[in-house]
Amino acid sequence: MSMWNQLRNRAVDMTAQLKTKTGQFKNKEFANGAMAMCALIAAADGSIDNAERATMSGLITSNEALKVFPAAELTQKFDFYASKLQSNFQFGKLEATQTIAKLKSKPDQARAVIQIGIIIGGADGFFDDHEKAAVREACHTLGIPPQEFDL
Annotation: CATH topology of 3-149: TerB-like (1.10.3680)
For 5-74, give the secondary structure using H, E and C. Answer: HHHHHHHHHHHHHHHHHHHHCCCHHHHHHHHHHHHHHHCCCCCCCHHHHHHHHHHHHHCHHHCCCCHHHH
Distance (Å, rounded) from C-alpha 85 to C-alpha 91?
A: 7
Domain boundaries, the chain: 3-149
DSSP string computed for 89-130: HHHHHHHHHHHHHTTTT-HHHHHHHHHHHHHHHHTTS---HH
pTM of the model: 0.83
Of residues 106 and 46, more confidence is placed in: 106
Give whole-number Cα distances, 67 to 41, 71, 107, 122, in Å: 19, 7, 21, 18
For 104-131, the pLDDT digits (tens) are: 999 999 999 999 999 888 877 788 999 9
Q: What is the largest CA-CA distance in the chain?
A: 41
For 59-110, the pLDDT digits (tens) are: 888 877 788 889 999 999 999 999 999 999 999 999 999 999 999 999 999 9
